[in-house]
């Protein structure tokens, strides 16, 4: 439902991409939220309202979810909180931690607080941006994206006042 609402708000005809999620989930050591996968298949690689870029499977590797996750993971400590993501740490199979799924302007970062033994549909969204500190939000990925783009009351995350006509620009 939320993905259809995003597409309608963007006047977007779904791309219906076929993405091989098995290899991505195998590398991560966990399944990903189904609504996120449908969002990536509907829009592909691109930018929402010149603000939010959703990570996906990206042959150019620029917006590739696994590559960016591994970059963060490789830069962090073996154990304990990561100073760059304190009080959190990057997800590692068998542990609870962050998996990045989008980035935005104004130094905004969006993650799932993931654990392989939990249903990905129930993962909390963890976000940080300028000017707000780490915050946890309990909702689906697609609802969060929709509300960031269209809900003027969804503070401090919303860009709806600044960009009242949301759009999507595909990237090659």
Contacts of 50 (CB under 8 A, 6+ apart): 105, 163, 169
Supply the pTM of this predicted model: 0.92
> What does each of the 172 residues of the chain score in pLDDT, given as a tens digit?
899 999 999 888 888 888 889 999 999 999 999 999 999 999 988 899 989 999 988 766 678 899 999 998 887 777 766 778 889 999 998 889 999 999 988 688 999 999 989 999 999 999 998 777 899 999 999 999 999 999 999 999 988 998 888 989 888 7
Helix (H, G, I), strand (E, B), or coil: what is residue 149? helix
End-to-end distance of the chain based on CA atoms, in angstroms? 27
Q: What is the per-residue pLDDT across 63-104, written as a single tens digit (0 to 9) for each?
A: 889 999 999 888 777 776 677 888 999 999 888 999 999 998
Angle between helices 34-43 and 141-150 (to 10 degrees): 50
pLDDT value, residue 46: 87
């Amino acid at each position: 439902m939320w993905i259809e609402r995003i597409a309608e708000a963007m006047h977007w005809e779904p791309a219906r991409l076929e993405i091989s999620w098995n290899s991505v989930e195998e590398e991560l050591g966990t399944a990903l939220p189904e609504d996120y996968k449908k969002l990536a298949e509907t829009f592909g690689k691109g930018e929402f309202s010149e603000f939010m870029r959703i990570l996906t499977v990206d042959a150019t590797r620029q917006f590739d979810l696994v590559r960016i996750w591994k970059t963060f993971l490789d830069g962090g400590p073996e154990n304990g909180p990561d100073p760059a993501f304190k009080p959190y740490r990057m997800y590692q199979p068998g542990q609870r931690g962050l998996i990045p799924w989008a980035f935005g302007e104004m130094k905004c970062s969006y993650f799932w607080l993931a654990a392989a033994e939990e249903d990905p549909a129930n993962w909390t969204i963890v976000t940080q941006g300028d000017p707000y500190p780490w915050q946890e939000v309990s909702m689906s990925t697609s609802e969060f994206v929709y509300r960031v783009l269209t809900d003027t009351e969804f503070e401090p995350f919303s860009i709806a006042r600044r960009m009242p006509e949301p759009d999507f620009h595909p990237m090659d």
